[in-house]
């Protein structure tokens, strides 16, 4: 009977009983990930299945520790509010770039919840942006039905190099207007929790190392190709920062001594020939106004001009990435960021350019993989890093935390 109801409302093709249950289970978890806490009746409505099906699934998932239920009141009636289990509190990850702000929550299982992206104007102002970020964190917590005290830490990934010693931008001009803003202090003041600030390529590398394409790999390099290029170096499973936090800033390796002046003040940096403005301007005459995203979409749709622009950029970036690979000898190169969304259009020429400049007879060639979480790895990495930092502090400082779980469950985490 339930199958009939599900069929009637969702018009899905029916398979076997168990595959239907599997699909409903995935659908239920996804709905709560996306919309936050909901009652069973609301879940039934949103998924188009009966309340009995939901009730059975919720029981099963609560037993497995994935969901929690609380009694609540909706429209004057008693109801069961279903939330994701967040046993040991939550961390917020914030990713601020030149054109956008992403906020995501995560718990100690390192799964992302309540991910939101807010587009920002070029040269956005720190006070407005930080205010939006704070409101997004508060609303996301609310949507998860989590109290303010469940927020344990905040991680912030900035789209510019960050000096680890001070938490401030290491190089002026790359995130205009943010040079002397103490982001960590601002969030600490608003939420009264520990705050960790780092460069976004580092955070993304960290995320890929924990739950992404580089999980289980000790030494690899993460290359972020979006509006400009950055890289994060993972050594022994941890991000290598260098003394001032500038390690891996390959976007500022010089590729043309007579090239244009870069925002960093130097001349002919890789970024001056592969940033959004340069790439889209190459197509201005034939294609009109494009954004980086348009460029990638059109390339994926087969537009030859856009494919050419991306392939040429991939070669230039691959050439520089090979320098980094020779310096640090990684097992793997993980590529993420907006341009990497072009898939093989970017990856094939990148791989080729990289391999050509590495040792031709090396016994183990360096593999190139796409990032597993290309959109959210900056924000999620920030959240996970803040969470781990907090867990470490709690262990060291002996702060009493209820029901701490071991780190052994790392391998069973699946984020997708």
Question: Which residues sit at the interface with other proteins, rule CB under 8 A?
Answer: 8-11, 34-36, 38, 42, 45-46, 48, 99, 114, 116-122, 124-128, 130, 132, 135-136, 139-140, 143, 166, 168, 180-182, 185-186, 188-189, 286-289, 293-294, 297-298, 303
Distance CA 168, CA 160 (A): 10
Among residues 3 and 132, whose Cβ is nearest to other proteins? 132
The count of other CB atoms within 10 Å of the CB of residue 50 is 17
Q: How far is the CB of 401 from other proteins (least distance, A)?
A: 26
Among residues 304 and 403, whose Cβ is nearest to other proteins? 304
Q: How far is the CB of 258 from other proteins (least distance, A)?
A: 26
Burial of 367 from C-beta contacts in 10 A (0-12 / 13-18 / 19+):
middle
Q: How far is the CB of 70 from other proteins (least distance, A)?
A: 17
Distance CA 264, CA 249 (A): 11
Q: How far is the CB of 298 from other proteins (least distance, A)?
A: 6
Cβ neighbors of 362 (< 8 A, separation 6 or more) are none
Among residues 190 and 357, whose Cβ is nearest to other proteins? 190
Q: Nearest CA to 292 among 120, 123, 282, 321? A: 282
Among residues 49 and 273, whose Cβ is nearest to other proteins? 49
Q: How far is the CB of 276 from other proteins (least distance, A)?
A: 11
Q: Nearest CA to 159 among 177, 144, 174, 140? A: 174
Distance CA 292, CA 301 (A): 14
* Residue 93 CA, distance from chain mean position: 9
Among residues 29 and 297, whose Cβ is nearest to other proteins? 297
Cβ neighbors of 132 (< 8 A, separation 6 or more) are 101, 118
Among residues 27 and 202, whose Cβ is nearest to other proteins? 27
Six-digit token string for 400: 């009493």
Let me know: does 264 contact 174? Beta carbons within 8 Å: yes
Among residues 130 and 156, whose Cβ is nearest to other proteins? 130
Six-digit token string for 195: 């705050």
Cβ neighbors of 300 (< 8 A, separation 6 or more) are 341, 342, 343, 345
Give 366's DSSP letter: P
Q: How far is the CB of 95 from other proteins (least distance, A)?
A: 13
Among residues 51 and 254, whose Cβ is nearest to other proteins? 51
Rounded to 5°, the CA angle 160-165-167 comes to 45
Q: How far is the CB of 213 from other proteins (least distance, A)?
A: 25
Q: How far is the CB of 409 from other proteins (least distance, A)?
A: 29
């Amino acid at each position: 009977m339930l199958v009939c109801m599900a069929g009637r409302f969702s018009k899905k093709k029916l398979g076997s009983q168990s595959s239907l249950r599997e699909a409903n289970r995935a659908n239920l978890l996804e709905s709560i990930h996306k919309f936050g806490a909901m009652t069973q009746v609301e879940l039934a409505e949103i998924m188009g299945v009966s309340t009995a099906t939901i009730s059975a699934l919720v029981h099963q998932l609560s037993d497995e520790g994935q969901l929690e239920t609380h009694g609540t009141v909706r429209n004057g009636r008693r109801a069961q509010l279903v939330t994701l289990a967040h046993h040991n509190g939550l961390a917020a990850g914030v990713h601020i770039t030149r054109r956008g702000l992403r906020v995501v929550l995560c718990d100690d299982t390192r799964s992302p919840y309540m991910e939101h992206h807010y587009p920002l104007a070029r040269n956005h102002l720190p006070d407005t942006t930080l205010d939006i970020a704070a409101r997004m964190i508060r609303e996301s917590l609310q949507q998860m039905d989590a109290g303010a005290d469940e927020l344990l830490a905040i991680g912030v990934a900035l789209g510019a190099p960050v000096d680890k010693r001070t938490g401030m931008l290491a190089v002026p001009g790359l995130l205009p207007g943010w040079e002397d803003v103490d982001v960590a202090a601002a969030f600490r003041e608003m939420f009264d929790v520990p705050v960790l600030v780092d460069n976004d390529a580092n955070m993304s590398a960290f995320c890929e190392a924990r739950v992404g394409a580089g999980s289980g790999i000790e030494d690899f390099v993460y290359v972020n190709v979006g509006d400009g290029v950055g890289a994060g170096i993972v050594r022994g499973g941890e991000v290598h920062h260098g003394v001032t936090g500038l390690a891996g800033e390959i976007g500022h390796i010089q590729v043309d001594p007579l090239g244009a002046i870069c925002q960093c003040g130097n001349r002919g940096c890789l970024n001056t020939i592969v940033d959004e403005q340069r790439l889209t301007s190459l197509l201005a005459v034939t294609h009109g106004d494009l954004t980086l995203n348009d460029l990638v979409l059109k390339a994926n749709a087969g537009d030859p001009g856009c494919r050419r622009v991306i392939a040429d950029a991939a070669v230039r970036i691959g050439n520089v990435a090979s320098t980094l690979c020779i310096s640090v000898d990684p097992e793997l190169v993980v590529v993420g960021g907006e341009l990497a969304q072009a898939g093989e259009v970017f990856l094939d020429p990148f791989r080729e350019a990289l391999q050509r400049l590495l040792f031709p007879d090396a016994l183990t060639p360096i593999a190139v993989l796409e990032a597993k979480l290309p959109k959210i790895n900056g924000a999620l990495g920030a959240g996970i890093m803040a969470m781990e930092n907090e867990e470490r502090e709690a262990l060291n400082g002996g702060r009493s935390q209820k029901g701490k779980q071991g780190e052994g469950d790392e391998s069973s985490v699946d984020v997708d």
